[in-house]
C-alpha cells in the first residue's frame, strides 16, 4: 500500500496533466453533447497524434537538456519532399522511408553541431530550420508545387481499424515504445543522466555526445514522419503547414511535466500534453471564442498546466489536506516552478 502511494506520488506531475485534460473534456461534453461523440473523439485523437509525433523527439531532446526548433520546417519538409518524390515517379513507401531518413540526417547534423561544435541548441536548430526553410522556398520558387500527396500517406492519416484511426494506433505504438525505452532501457537512463548533469554523466562513462546526437536524430525522423502523416490528412502541402507545431510540440512536453532544463519528463506526460492542447483547441470554438480569445486561453492554460505539473499539484495537495483552509505561510511566491 505504501508503495502504491509512493508510485502515485512520483507520478503526480503526469497525473495532473491527464486530470487537466479530463476536466477540459468533461466541460466540453457537458456544454455540447456532440463533443463526446465517437467521431469527435476520433478527430481529436488524429489531431493530437500530429502533435504527438512532433513532440516525441522533442521530449527526448528536452530530457537530454536540449531544444529542437527545426520542428515546423521538418513537418513541412515531410509532406513537400514526399509529394515531390512521388511526382517524380518514386513509389510511395520507399519515398516515405527516404524522406524520414533525410529528416533523421538533418536531426543528426543538429546533434553534431550541438555536441561537437558546442553550439547552443536554440541557435543550432534555429539555423538548421532556416536552411530547411530556404530549401523548401527554393523548391517552391524553382518548380511548381501542388504535387499530389501519395495515397499511402492519405490512407495512413484517414483510415480506421474498427473504431480506431490508424494514426492513433501508430501513435499508441510509438508511445508504448518510447515509454519502455525511457524507463526500462540503458539508453533511457543515460538520457536522463545527460540531461540532469552532463559533466557527471561524462565522468561516469556515459557517451554524452552519442546520446545527444541520437535524440536529435530521432527528433528529426519523427517530426518528418509527422509531416508525412499531416500532409496525408490535409491532402495537400504548403510551406506553413508546420507553423503551429513549434509551439505545440514544446508546450505538450512541458505541460507533460518535463523540465525545460533537462533531466526529467516522460513521453506519457507529453501524450497528456498533446491531448490537453488538442481538446482545448476543439473546446474553445464551442464557446464562440474568436481566434484571439483562443490564443489567450491557450497561453493561460499552458502556464497553469506547467504550474500544475511542477509545483501546483503539491500546493493543491497541501490545501486539500488542510481542509481547504488557507495556509498561513502562503505568500506571493509559490516556490520554484522548475519546468
Partner 1 sequence: MSGVLLKLTGVRKRFGAVRVLEGASLEARAGEVHAVLGENGAGKSTLMRILAGVISADAGQVTLDGRAVSLGSPSAAVAAGIRTVFQDLSVIPQLTVADNLLYGSETSARGLVLRRRRQELARKLLDGFGLGRIDTAAPVSELGLGDRQLLEVVKALRKSPRVLILDEATSALSATDSAWVLAQGRAAAAAGAAVLLITHRLHEVRATADRITVLRSGVDVLNGTVDELEDDALITAMLGRRAEVLYPSRVPPSAEDVLKVVGLVAQGLPGPIDLQVNRGEILGVGGLQGQGQRELLMALAGAQPWAGGVATLLGAAYAPRSPREALRRGVAYVPEDRQREGLFLGHSVQSNITISGLGSFVRHGLLDARAELRAAQDAAARVGISHDRLSARASTMSGGNQQKVVLAKALLGEPAVLLLHDCTRGVDVGTKAEIFELMSRIAAAGTAILFYSSDLSELVHVCDRVAVIAEGRLGAVISRDELTEDAILRVAVRLTAGSHGRVAA
Partner 2 sequence: MSSSAPTRRLPRLGVAMPQRLSWNSALTAAILLALIIIDLSIQPALANLTQIGLLVETAMPLVMVSVAQTLIVLVGGIDLSVGGMFVVANAVTVVWVGGGGGAHQLLIVAAFAVGIAMGTLNGLLVTGLGFQPFIATLGTWTIYNGIALTILPTDGGTPPPFLSNFMVATVFGVPTSIVMLVVVFLAWRCLRATRFGGRIYAVGADEERARLNGTSVRRVKLAVYGLAGLCAAIGGIYAAGADVSGTPTAGDAYILMSVAVVVIGGTSLRGGEGGVGVTLMGAMALTLINDIVDALNLNTWVSVAASASLLLVMVAGRTLVEAQLRQRRRR
Which residues are at the interface with partner 2 (CB under 8 A)?
69, 113, 117-120, 122-124, 126-131, 133-138, 141-142, 247, 250-251, 254, 259-261, 290-300, 302-303, 306-307, 311, 332-339
- Cβ pair 218, 57 in contact under 8 A: yes
Residue 121 Cβ, how far from partner 1 at the closest point, in Å? 20
Compare residues 136 and 208 and give the one whose CB is closer to partner 1: 208
Q: Is residue 253 near partner 1 by the rule CB under 8 A?
A: no
C-alpha cell at 20: 487537466
Give the one residue of 121, 165, 263, 265 binding partner 1; rule: CB under 8 A.
263
Environment class of 244 (CB within 10 Å of its CB; exposed 0-12, middle 13-18, buried 19+): middle
- Cβ pair 74, 223 in contact under 8 A: yes
**What is the rounded distance in angstroms from the CA atom of residue 183 to the CA atom of residue 173?**
16
Compare residues 181 and 294 and give the one whose CB is closer to partner 2: 294
Phi-psi region of 265 (alpha: psi -120 to 50; beta: other; left: phi over 0): left
DSSP characters for 24-35? HHHHHHHH-GGG
Give the one residue of 16, 215, 264, 270 binding partner 1; rule: CB under 8 A.
264
Owner of C-alpha cell 499552458: 302
User: In this chain, which stretch among 32-40, 157-165, 184-192, 241-249 interacts with partner 1, using CB under 8 A?
Assistant: 184-192
Count of residues of this chain found to bind partner 1 when the rule CB under 8 A is applied: 21
Residue 21 Cβ, how far from partner 1 at the closest point, in Å? 26
Q: Is residue 201 near partner 1 by the rule CB under 8 A?
A: yes
Residue 153 Cβ, how far from partner 2 at the closest point, in Å? 25
Owner of C-alpha cell 554523466: 201
Helix ranges, the chain (H)? 2-10, 12-31, 38-63, 71-87, 92-115, 121-142, 151-158, 166-184, 186-196, 198-203, 208-234, 243-255, 267-283, 291-307, 313-321
Residue 10 Cβ, how far from partner 1 at the closest point, in Å? 10
**What is the rounded distance in angstroms from the CA atom of residue 201 to the CA atom of residue 190?**
8
Compare residues 189 and 318 and give the one whose CB is closer to partner 1: 189
| 3-state SS class at 336 | coil
Q: Is residue 196 near partner 1 by the rule CB under 8 A?
A: yes
Residue 183 Cβ, how far from partner 1 at the closest point, in Å? 9
Compare residues 141 and 163 and give the one whose CB is closer to partner 2: 141
User: In this chain, which stretch among 49-57, 170-178, 181-189, 275-283 interacts with partner 1, using CB under 8 A?
Assistant: 181-189
Q: Give the C-alpha distances (Å, rounded to integers) separating 282 from 25, 40, 54, 181, 285.
A: 10, 9, 19, 32, 6
**What is the rounded distance in angstroms from the CA atom of residue 49 to the CA atom of residue 229?**
9
Q: Is residue 63 near partner 1 by the rule CB under 8 A?
A: no
Residue 164 Cβ, how far from partner 2 at the closest point, in Å? 31
Residue 285 Cβ, how far from partner 1 at the closest point, in Å? 40
Residue 190 Cβ, how far from partner 1 at the closest point, in Å? 7
Compare residues 229 and 277 and give the one whose CB is closer to partner 2: 277
CA neighbor of 308 nearest in space, from 51, 50, 26, 22: 22
What lies within 8 Å, CB to CB, of 151 at 6+ separation is 92
What lies within 8 Å, CB to CB, of 203 at 6+ separation is none
Q: Is residue 202 near partner 1 by the rule CB under 8 A?
A: yes
Compare residues 12 and 156 and give the one whose CB is closer to partner 2: 12
Q: Is residue 8 near partner 1 by the rule CB under 8 A?
A: no
| Binding stretches for partner 1 (CB under 8 A) | 180, 184-186, 189-190, 192-193, 196-197, 199-207, 263-264
Amino acid at each position: 500500500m505504501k508503495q502504491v502511494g509512493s508510485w502515485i506520488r512520483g507520478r503526480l506531475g503526469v497525473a495532473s496533466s491527464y486530470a487537466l485534460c479530463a476536466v477540459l473534456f468533461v466541460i466540453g461534453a457537458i456544454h455540447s453533447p456532440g463533443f463526446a461523440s465517437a467521431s469527435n473523439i476520433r478527430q481529436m485523437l488524429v489531431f493530437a497524434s500530429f502533435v504527438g509525433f512532433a513532440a516525441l523527439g522533442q521530449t527526448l531532446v528536452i530530457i537530454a537538456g536540449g531544444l529542437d526548433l527545426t520542428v515546423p520546417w521538418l513537418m513541412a519538409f515531410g509532406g513537400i519532399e514526399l509529394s515531390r518524390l512521388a511526382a517524380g515517379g518514386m513509389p510511395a513507401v520507399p519515398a516515405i522511408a527516404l524522406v524520414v531518413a533525410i529528416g533523421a540526417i538533418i536531426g543528426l547534423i543538429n546533434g553534431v553541431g550541438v555536441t561537437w561544435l558546442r553550439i547552443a541548441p536554440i541557435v543550432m536548430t534555429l539555423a538548421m530550420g532556416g536552411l530547411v526553410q530556404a530549401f523548401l522556398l527554393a523548391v517552391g520558387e524553382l518548380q511548381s508545387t501542388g504535387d499530389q500527396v501519395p495515397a499511402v500517406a492519405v490512407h495512413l492519416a484517414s483510415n480506421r481499424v474498427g473504431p480506431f484511426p490508424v494514426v492513433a494506433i501508430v501513435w499508441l505504438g510509438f508511445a508504448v515504445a518510447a515509454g519502455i525505452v525511457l524507463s526500462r532501457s540503458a539508453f533511457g537512463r543515460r538520457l536522463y543522466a545527460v540531461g540532469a548533469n552532463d559533466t557527471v554523466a561524462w565522468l561516469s562513462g556515459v557517451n554524452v555526445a552519442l546520446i545527444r546526437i541520437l535524440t536529435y536524430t530521432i527528433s528529426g525522423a519523427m517530426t518528418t514522419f509527422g509531416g508525412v502523416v499531416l500532409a496525408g490528412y490535409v491532402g495537400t502541402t504548403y510551406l506553413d503547414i508546420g507553423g503551429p507545431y513549434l509551439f505545440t510540440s514544446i508546450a505538450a512536453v512541458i505541460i507533460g511535466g518535463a523540465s525545460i532544463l533537462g533531466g526529467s519528463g516522460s513521453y506519457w506526460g507529453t501524450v497528456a500534453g498533446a491531448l490537453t492542447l488538442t481538446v482545448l483547441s476543439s473546446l474553445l470554438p464551442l464557446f464562440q471564442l474568436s481566434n484571439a480569445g483562443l490564443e489567450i486561453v491557450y497561453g493561460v492554460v499552458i502556464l497553469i498546466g506547467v504550474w500544475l505539473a511542477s509545483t501546483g499539484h503539491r500546493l493543491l495537495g497541501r490545501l486539500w489536506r488542510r481542509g481547504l483552509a488557507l495556509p498561513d505561510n502562503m505568500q506571493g511566491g509559490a516556490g520554484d516552478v522548475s519546468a
